[in-house]
Amino acid sequence: MIYLYLGQNDLCLPVTAASLQLGLLMSTSLPAYEDLAKLPHFRTVGKEDEGMLCFMGEDRQGNKVYVTSVKGHPDVFIRGVGSLLSVCQIPLQEVVVVPCIAENPQVSRLCRIITLLGFKESATRLGSRVARNRFRELAATTYAK
Amino acid sequence: MAEKKIIYHCYGGAHSSVTAAAIHLGKLPRENTPTNDELLSLKLFDRLTKEGHGELHFAGVDEWQNQIYSVGCRNVGKAIERLLRGVADIFAQKEQLVFVDTLHCVTMKMRIGGYISRQLGLVEIGRPIVLQGTQEAYPQLVGLVSRIRNEVRR
């Protein structure tokens, strides 16, 4: 099975959720900024890598876990993936799309602007704060899946 | 060679992509501009709403057994293309997909008429404008489809 964590404007939330599934983060303790920052692909995204799948790894059950991020309209992407699976005659349950959108997408946009201004470290720090704020919810979602 | 899935995409999936898919399948003439009735006879022309954006709509099968689809991708066509290619790649089906962006053929009348009809829901005002716009853009759409047909029949 394929798990696809979908973020908006950044990969911070999807990478955190994917890491919980892969066991790179423990759901029992809130991760430190350093722990989040060293996760693979934990960053904002540019226009050129919107929609690009990043492979995070395989979980214990052998499910492949990917993350991706889009600028906006996550509903269109979710419908698109479902529709493609039908068209390609792939069972719908083969791909699970998990939206990991910040409550306020403007924060993710701000992260992106900060990155564009060259303050990558500050953007990552802000992204990690968003991830920490949503950590319990992400953990609950991930384990429910 | 495996049949391809040719996906014509535009902003709303209600005008240029639907028209291009119909031209590809021979449902609309390639030699002359279609009438309003011909355009409106297409099942999806000026009918798709935003709830249908992202869904691949099957239009038919061409003479080389390629499946033809149309889809509305709003302003994230490139990103959707990358994501769907990525997903198809996981299942080794990437080579089958051909994405064709029809947005560059869209005229100002199509944009304005489409917005009034689809976004504002004022069909009676928007539809005549978008029909006229589609007829003006028709030669460009025929040119694009002809190029794609030449590519996929090889």
Q: What is the pLDDT along chain A (145 residues), one digit of tens a residue?
A: 999 999 888 888 999 999 999 999 998 889 998 899 889 998 877 777 889 999 999 999 999 999 998 888 889 999 999 999 999 999 999 999 999 887 777 787 788 788 888 888 888 888 888 888 888 888 887 765 5
Three-class SS of chain B: CCCCEEEEEECCCCCHHHHHHHHHCCCCCCCCCCCHHHHHCCCCCCCCCHHHCCCCEEEEECCCCCEEEEEECCCCHHHHHHHHHHHHHHCCCHHHEEEEECHHHCCHHHHHHHHHHHHCCCHHHHHHHHHHHHHHHHHHHHHHHHHHHHHHCC
Closest CA of chain B from A76, distance in Å: 4
Both tokens of A41, joined, read 């692909």
Q: Between chains, do B96 and A88 touch, taking CB under 8 Å as contact?
A: yes
Whether B74 contacts chain A with CB within 8 A: yes
- pLDDT of B66-93, one tens digit each? 999 999 999 889 999 999 999 999 999 9
What's the average model confidence in pLDDT over B111-135? 96
Overall pTM surpassing 0.80 (yes/no): yes
Amino acid, res. B107: T
In this prediction, residue B103 carries a pLDDT of 94
- Closest-CA residue of chain B to A75: B54
Closest CA of chain A from B127, distance in Å: 24
Q: Between chains, do B83 and A80 touch, taking CB under 8 Å as contact?
A: yes
Neighboring chain A residues of B83 at a CB cutoff of 8 Å: 51-53, 68, 70, 77, 80-81
Interface of A with B in 94-123 (CB under 8 A): 94-95
Q: Is the ipTM beyond the 0.85 threshold? A: yes
Closest CA of chain A from B139, distance in Å: 29
- CA angle, B18 then B20 then B22, to 5°: 70
- Closest-CA residue of chain B to A4: B87
Q: Where are the domains of chain B?
A: 5-106+138-152
The residues, any chain, with a CB within 8 Å of residue B3's CB and separated by 6 or more, are: B64, B65, B66, B67, B96
